[in-house]
Structure 1
Amino acid sequence: MKPAPASAPFAGPFALATLSAPDGPPFPALVTPDGRTVDLRTALGDPQLTTRHLLEDWPAVLPRLRSLAHDDTVERGTSAGLRVHAPVEPRQVFQSGANYRQHVIDLHVAHRAPGDDRPEDERRAEAAEIMDRRAREDLPYVFIGLPSALTGPYDEVVLPAWAEQPDWELELAAVIGRPAYRVGVAEALEHVAGYTIANDLTDRAGVFRRDMPQIGTDWLRGKNAPGFTPLGPWLVPAESVADPGALRLVLKLNGETMQDESTKDMIFDVARMVSYISRTARLLPGDLVLTGSPAGNGIHRGRLLRDGDVMDASITGLGTQRTRCVTEVTP
């Protein structure tokens, strides 16, 4: 799907994108709010340059990008006619579940256990108590996603024939710019290069193993179909995002607002999430930390994704992505 031009699509003087000409290889580009682009392979003198290379040397690269954004002598092009890919190719994708207070309450009610006939108010109160305890005990819920599930911000999203309840989940994604292992909360944001938009689609019917209920959730089946995570369009440097804890997330389905929430509703903010993950895993440059989705998902509304649906997803200062759902054509 071709992106529509937009004015001032992101905060700050520049963002990063991964673009390609028809039949050409993807390349890293610096993009300015007026829609002009700089091919960073040429500007930085490396024909093999990728966005991951930039992130692996982020502290040194960032000042050069600032200079390029304001250098009127640099050759500039336009993104017209270019394909916009996911802005990064991570080696690891860390995903947070149950991280927005209202969302958790809604899901707790929607996924009532068989035989649980308690009043809704009682189950909502139970969910609130569980979240308060998790916050006190510093226990985010994090699982692993697959890079192969990522797709571009304007690509069609194929709904697999086996997906019975495909749903949307707009999320703020943090992009790692410095390796992080066993870092504290106070220094965690120093390891974040920037932010982008993720729509972490989920087949609700595939999340819980009906054949083995005692084993819990099956995130492979529920979330990792090819193209189930539209990402981008831009990687906006962290220095241009004043407060990742005060961003507005809005997802519209066929023009109707479904999700509209602030990251203030997160139980664990970005710093706590990065620090928590780093206690176990080594975060690498280019890795993604998805921070969970707010209330307003389809499973709660009784309206799930189907062929022809168009999703417009935006986050303050990070731009907008638009994806259209198509049903998988089976052989």
Structure 2
Amino acid sequence: MKLLQFYHLKDDHQQLKVGILDNHDTIKALTISGTAREFITQFAGTNQAEIEALTEGAPVYNLNEVKLLSPLTDPEKIICIGLNYHDHVIESNMQVPKVPVLFPKFNNCLNSHNDKVVIPQEVSQCDYEVELAVVIGKTAKKVSKDSAMDYVFGYTVLNDVSARDIQLNEPQWTRGKAIDGFAPMGPWIVTKDEIPNPGNLPISLTLNGEIMQNSNTKELIFDIPHLISFLSNTITLQPGDIISTGTPPGVGMGKKPQVWLQPGDIVEATVEGIGTLRSTFVSEQ
């Protein structure tokens, strides 16, 4: 199942709707009120037939007549993992971490598929980072690695856009990572039943059509069960929480010469089995 949030382009009020991608270009709306996070809280673990029943009597939309939103707009937590691919650690000139490196993003960072990312005037070293993001399906507290995957609802794609000139010149990373719109996510959430092995997914990113990152999630230093267990030992994870698992090598900072995003650049971040997240970068007016 592919869960998404959208509004109908003819809706002047831009009312958020939650739906299921029925095929490549048809969306079945759900007859529920609230957000995708609220749907996950109520219906995670519900079987396909019961979910299909939630679409009865609801409108059906074509993809070309809706605006896709971030598939989650109100998560309680967005927890990002830094330095989680060996080759990315090397290109960053840092040491392989002994425990996961964490930093937060917030709801102000969330951005949509096919939307604009605004580069602030203060930022001259804007970078891209394709990542596999995990969406939590039920409350997790002190869970073991063996049971960790029971708490996963599904997966999506996140671009951990970063202002390197802020991130690497301040004592901590948050201000350079949590800029408005610097977490494009989507296009939708794919439920875990459709991704039987998230630890072996091709992951890539192109900049204006040129491949910049090309790896596989099997190269993660800390895999998804480890991350969920590690985090839940001290942080209660709630339905709709996002864990972004880190980026592979090939970021602009690691290129020779370095590559920084410019106004007009188009970035496409892809994880096999989920889809492609597209963003256009623009300058702050």
Normalising TM by the smaller chain, what interval? Answer: over 0.9
Whole-angstrom CA distance in 2 between matches of 1:72 and 1:19 = 18
Q: For 2:40, what is the secondary structure of its paired residue?
A: helix
Whole-angstrom CA distance in 2 between matches of 1:235 and 1:62 = 16
Deviations 1:282-318 (A, max 9, x none): 1111110000000000011111101110001110010
* 1:86 matched to 2:67: no
Count of residue correspondences? 279
- Alignment equivalent of 2:143, drawn from 160, 174, 183: 183
Deviations 1:225-255 (A, max 9, x none): 1111100001000110021100111100000
Whole-angstrom CA distance in 1 between matches of 2:76 and 2:190 = 19
Deviations 1:109-157 (A, max 9, x none): 6xxxxxxxxxxxxxxxxx3xx45xx2xxxx1112221111001011111
Whole-angstrom CA distance in 1 between matches of 2:163 and 2:58 = 46
TM-superposed deviation, 1:75: 5.6
Whole-angstrom CA distance in 2 between matches of 1:141 and 1:27 = 35
Aligned residue number for residue 217 of structure 1 = 172
Aligned residue number for residue 21 of structure 1 = 8
- Alignment-mate amino acid for residue 168 of structure 2: F
The answer on whether the counterparts of 2:187 and 2:275 sit within 8 Å (CA) in structure 1 is: yes
Q: For 1:104, what is the secondary structure of its paired residue?
A: helix
Aligned residue number for residue 254 of structure 1 = 208
Whole-angstrom CA distance in 2 between matches of 1:51 and 1:15 = 11
Aligned residue number for residue 315 of structure 1 = 271
Whole-angstrom CA distance in 1 between matches of 2:275 and 2:86 = 25
Deviations 1:153-202 (A, max 9, x none): 11111001111211000000000110111111111111110000000100
- Alignment-mate amino acid for residue 54 of structure 1: F
* 1:107 matched to 2:110: no
**Structure 1 unaligned residues grouped into runs of 5+:** 1-13, 110-126, 211-215
Whole-angstrom CA distance in 1 between matches of 2:53 and 2:200 = 29
TM-superposed deviation, 1:208: 2.9
Whole-angstrom CA distance in 2 between matches of 1:202 and 1:283 = 25
- After TM superposition, list the pairs within 5 Å mapping 1:24-173 onto structure 2: 24-41=14-31, 46=32, 48-64=33-49, 67=52, 76-89=60-73, 90-108=75-93, 127=95, 130-131=96-97, 134=98, 139-173=99-133
> Which one has a bigger Cα radius of gyration?
1
- Alignment equivalent of 2:236, drawn from 273, 276, 282: 282
Whole-angstrom CA distance in 2 between matches of 1:173 and 1:65 = 26
- Alignment-mate amino acid for residue 305 of structure 1: L
Higher strand share: 2
* 1:305 matched to 2:261: yes
Higher helix share: 1
TM-score, with length taken from structure 2: 0.92
The answer on whether the counterparts of 1:36 and 1:76 sit within 8 Å (CA) in structure 2 is: yes
Identity fraction in percent? 31
The answer on whether the counterparts of 2:30 and 2:58 sit within 8 Å (CA) in structure 1 is: no
Aligned residue number for residue 161 of structure 2 = 201
TM-superposed deviation, 1:60: 4.7
The answer on whether the counterparts of 1:18 and 1:88 sit within 8 Å (CA) in structure 2 is: yes
* 1:328 matched to 2:264: no
Deviations 1:17-66 (A, max 9, x none): 1010133211100112332111102xxxx3x2321121102345343465
TM-superposed deviation, 1:77: 2.7
Whole-angstrom CA distance in 2 between matches of 1:74 and 1:327 = 39
Whole-angstrom CA distance in 1 between matches of 2:57 and 2:235 = 43
Whole-angstrom CA distance in 2 between matches of 1:182 and 1:209 = 35
- Alignment-mate amino acid for residue 149 of structure 2: L
**Structure 2 unaligned residues grouped into runs of 5+:** none
Q: For 1:61, what is the secondary structure of its paired residue?
A: coil
